Structure formats: structure tokens, C-alpha cells
Amino acid sequence: MTNTAKKFYDATAKLYDSRHDNDTARYLRKRENKMIKKYARGKVIDIGCGTGCHLDAERTGIDISYNMLMECKSCKNLIQSRAEELPVKTSVFNTAICMFSTLNLCDADKATEEMNRILRNNGIAIISVSSVRGGEKKTKNMRIEGFRMKINTFTKKELIDLFRKNGFESLEFHGMFKSQKPYWGWYRNFSLCEKIKLFLDKLPPSSRGRMYIAAFRKL
Ligand SMILES: C[S@@+](CC[C@H](N)C(=O)[O-])C[C@H]1O[C@@H](n2cnc3c(N)ncnc32)[C@H](O)[C@@H]1O
């Protein structure tokens, strides 16, 4: 699971920022930034930080993709690592950010356990994930630009249960994008074949491009 995500982001890192320069992503970032402003404090780590849109000089960024980290301009505290095995001491951070689908791509259970380990008591985890559950499956296989990706999907209950199980309480939880139209915009660079496949997948309109944003507190 992880290796394909790494290969995908290594291959597309230079395109990442321009791909997300659109109204949908701006709307999402606005919601994320509002949540970060409300809850982030003290020492902050961004897990799956990508090109670093939530980083600044003080924060620490971790990502599995070296090429994504190379695109980070705002921060020098960068570590290439898997979210499931963070090379970080126990109980050192006050806030863990994990935004924009990183939990969809990694072993979400291990990554959440790790978040708990590195956070101090009462530390905050702020996350946003895609909710691409079109049918029944918890893991979807999607071919994205030639890369076969395994994508974890979550219902609201599953996400809250995941964090509870790993020692967090839920502070705030929202669905996003209901009235947005991100779907085809996101996939405009896909081949015709891939577009047809996505169309045939027929995600119900309610889950198209839907995302969750949430804040949890370590107990
Ligand atoms: C959609 S991008 C989001 C990047 C950033 N958080 C943002 O908000 O723009 C997902 C990121 O998760 C990273 N990623 C995927 N699997 C990972 C893993 N197991 N451990 C750490 N990072 C991972 C990818 O390399 C990629 O940078």
C-alpha cells in the first residue's frame, strides 16, 4: 500500500501544488486552516506533510516521499519516514496534523497509534480524509495515472472509532464538499480510460469528493 503511494507521489511531486491550485482545494484549505488555527498549539508535527502547505519554520514535517519533501519551501525540519513508524520520541508534540488523505493511503490504525505515542497528554490530532466509500468495501483499489493505489475509506463512525480505539476523544467532526464539485476537476489529467473507469465506478453523488475534517484529543 505504502510503496505505491510513495512511488505515485515521488513521480508527481512537481505537479502537486499546481494540481491543487483550484477553487475546490482552496475551499478545503480554508476549512483546514480554520481548524488548525482553532486547535494547533505548542510543538506541531505534520504527518504526510507533502509539499508543506501547513508547515512553517517552527513545525516538523514528515512524509514518505522524498520528492514531496524536496518541494517544501517553508520548513527545514523535514524527515522522510512512514507515518506508521515515526522516528520521533514518545510524548514530545502538542499537535499532530495529518491532512488531505494521508490516512487514506497508509495503515491508518498504526498511524493513529503512532500519533498517540508522539503526542503529550491532551495533545491534539487534526486530520482530514477522503470519504470515497462508494459501496461496501473498506479498501478501494484505484488505478491513478498508471499507479494501482489502495485507498482506505471511512465512514464517520469508523473514523471516530479508529481514534477512540487508539486513545483519543473526538472534539469536532465535519463533512466537507457537499456543495462543491471537485470530482472531475481533480481527475482532469486522467486518461480517457481512467475517466471511464471512474465513471463506471459510479460513486453515489453524496460521497463524490466528500471529505471529513476532524479534531481529536489524546486522553
Ligand atoms: C494527498 S497528499 C497530502 C499532502 C499534505 N498533507 C497536504 O495537505 O497537501 C498525501 C501525502 O501522504 C504521503 N504519504 C502516503 N503514505 C504515507 C505514509 N505511509 N507515511 C507517510 N506519508 C505518506 C504522500 O507521500 C503524500 O505526500
68 lines ligand 1 (CB under 6 A): yes
Residues paired with 139 in a beta bridge: 152
For residue 211, count CB atoms less than 10 angstroms from its CB and return exposed for 0-12, middle for 13-18, buried for 19 or more.
Answer: buried
Distance CA 24, CA 53 (A): 15
Total domains in the fold of the chain: 1
pLDDT of 203 above 50: no
Distance CA 218, CA 197 (A): 40
C-alpha cell at 125: 490530532
pLDDT of 187 above 70: no
pLDDT of 182 above 60: no
Q: Which domain holds residue 25?
A: 2-82+89-218
Contact of 131 with 207, CB cutoff 8 Å: yes
118 lines ligand 1 (CB under 6 A): no
Atom of ligand 1 at shortest distance to CA of 10? 25
Q: Report CA(172)–ligand 1 centroid distance (Å).
A: 22
59 lines ligand 1 (CB under 6 A): no
For the stretch 13-70, pLDDT in tens is 999 999 888 777 888 898 899 999 999 999 999 999 999 999 999 999 999 999 999 9
Q: Report CA(107)–ligand 1 centroid distance (Å).
A: 12
C-alpha cell at 209: 469528493
pTM attached to this predicted model: 0.87
Contact of 47 with 85, CB cutoff 8 Å: no
Indicate the SS3 state at residue 167: coil
For the stretch 73-110, pLDDT in tens is 989 999 999 999 999 999 999 999 999 989 999 999 99
pLDDT of residue 154: 85
Biggest CA–CA distance in the chain, Å, is 49
Query: Of 21, 30, 102, which is best to mutate to test ligand 1, by the most ligand atoms within 8 angstroms of its C-beta?
Result: 102
Residues paired with 41 in a beta bridge: none
5 lines ligand 1 (CB under 6 A): yes
Mean pLDDT for 114-127 is 98
Q: Measuring CA to CA, which residue among 218, 125, 212, 118 is closest to residue 169?
A: 218
Distance CA 146, CA 166 (A): 34
C-alpha cell at 157: 463512525
DSSP string, 73-130: -S-S-EEE--TTS--S-TT-EEEEEE-TTHHHHS-HHHHHHHHHHHEEEEEEEEEEEE
Look at ligand 1, atom 27, and give the residue with the nearest C-alpha. 50
Residue 167 φ then ψ, to 5°: 90, 30
Query: Of 2, 54, 105, 176, which is best to mutate to test ligand 1, by the most ligand atoms within 8 angstroms of its C-beta?
Result: 105
Report the CATH number that the domain containing residue 154 is assigned in CATH.
3.40.50.150
106 lines ligand 1 (CB under 6 A): yes
C-alpha cell at 218: 489524546
Contact of 132 with 183, CB cutoff 8 Å: no
Mean pLDDT for 195-210 is 54
Atom of ligand 1 at shortest distance to CA of 68? 27
pLDDT of residue 180: 42
